[in-house]
A and B are shown apart, each in its own frame.
Chain A
């Protein structure tokens, strides 16, 4: 467990500068959106956050693989499970931290409280699901091969989110607009808390299953 924590800390130390840049970028966007009006704020901020999280995990994998540092770790008494677990943990911690930050910012800026919380949670769930798909691929194929596949997935998610409003809109009689908006409306609704709990459980389960799969993939992978 000690090994895992050291690797988690490492993931953050490596990106220390980038993380600072992300925070600055987000604050920058908040300023811009506030200047443009609240409507956009609710929408674009979560997407920016999603993009930032995407960059975080990408950069984590990239740093480990570009210098083949995983090879050095292979020579040390570190278990491969620990490496996988640490990656999942660090990405999860980053997501939670980012969402909390987002939540605070949104609460400060937007008066529509339930909506901002919902937006943040929405981003969190989407991110967790994406990671659950993204990471096993990364561990199986290595960063270089995985990056193109993952870009495809990332794009796909965006498009899917665009397609869902049609379904949601027709189902619950809500206005169209972006899928994300629809999802947020859902979460902010009366059954919101239950739905949130349900989603939280499902995403957590997915995340854990994804981690088990990644462990199997990574154990088998030859780094040379």
Chain B
């Protein structure tokens, strides 16, 4: 399986925050969701990938090319949508589409215009008159209009209503109908990613916690809710993101069998419940765990 994005040992230092040893790969032809809470470093990683900010050490390769040396060649094959939209507010949507799109050698203006139509954007309307959702869709039209091999989206759905969100997700699924196209998008709305992502990478406080097939994650990780009489340190230590309550404690683990074994060994007959987790649970519990440290 070939990798469309390959990140190795990425370090980036800011005053109050840094990326530490970020490494993961995005397989070609699939959708990877990049999750983490606000401030975890998702945008920073994406900006490093797009060579928009410098970084101290590590390598980033797109299509097997170094992202700094071949930045321009790479950008011709990538469609990018940032968290905030940057347009000339006094110009029309149609003008913006043509102006920004025209920098791509493979730009297809008819296709771009058809996308605008499909999104319900009036090309004669000024950008300042568009709602936030429309601006995101305009940015998407520009990103898709040159039929990129890779779509990189930074929080494309934050602040948008569920209707537009589901439209955008459908668009992403359409993009990977072609096996040569891949999507990498970050979001703190985990439910979006839970639906269509093939792979998920989780980042917390500048570090990659996991990067795996979404189905594997959902099947490997389980949530345990156990009665308080079992509240021993050794057992608690086997769970991540432990939450203690009046009526029991809970936590998650990726080794459910061994946890059950240990639980039965130490506290035979103890009451507990094992549940499937959502990506939300994963994010919250892992964040909780890193806070506790």
Q: Touch between A and B in complex, CB under 8 Å?
A: yes
| Residues of A near any B CB (own CB < 8 A) | 3, 6, 10, 13-14, 63, 67-79, 222-224
Q: How far is the CA of A76 from the CA of B99 in the complex (A)?
A: 11
- Number of contacts between A and B (CB, 8 Å)? 58
Digitize B26-52: 1 where CB-to-A-CB distance is under 8 Å, 0 elsewhere. Answer: 000000000000000000000100101
| A77 engages B52 (CB within 8 Å) | no
| A69 engages B104 (CB within 8 Å) | no
Chain B residues positioned under 8 Å from A63 (CB to CB) = 88, 90
Chain B: residues with Cβ within 8 Å of the partner, total of 26
Chain B residues positioned under 8 Å from A3 (CB to CB) = 103
Question: Which residue on A lies nearest to B51, using beta carbons?
Answer: A74
Chain B residues positioned under 8 Å from A224 (CB to CB) = 47, 52-53
Given A10-B99, A76-B104, A67 and B87 touching (CB < 8 A)? Answer: yes
| A74 engages B103 (CB within 8 Å) | no
The A interface, classified by DSSP as helix, strand, loop or mixed, is: helix
B62, chain A: closest CB distance, angstroms: 13
Kindly state whether residue B80 has any CB partner on chain A within 8 Å.
yes
| A69 engages B75 (CB within 8 Å) | no
B88, chain A: closest CB distance, angstroms: 6
Given A13-B95, A79-B72, A224-B47, A72 and B100 touching (CB < 8 A)? Answer: yes
Given A77-B72, A223-B52, A6 and B99 touching (CB < 8 A)? Answer: yes
Kindly state whether residue B82 has any CB partner on chain A within 8 Å.
yes
Q: How far is the CA of A73 from the CA of B102 in the complex (A)?
A: 12
Kindly state whether residue B122 has any CB partner on chain A within 8 Å.
no
Q: How far is the CA of A70 from the CA of B104 in the complex (A)?
A: 16
Q: How far is the CA of A73 from the CA of B54 in the complex (A)?
A: 17
| B82 engages A75 (CB within 8 Å) | yes
| B86 engages A222 (CB within 8 Å) | no
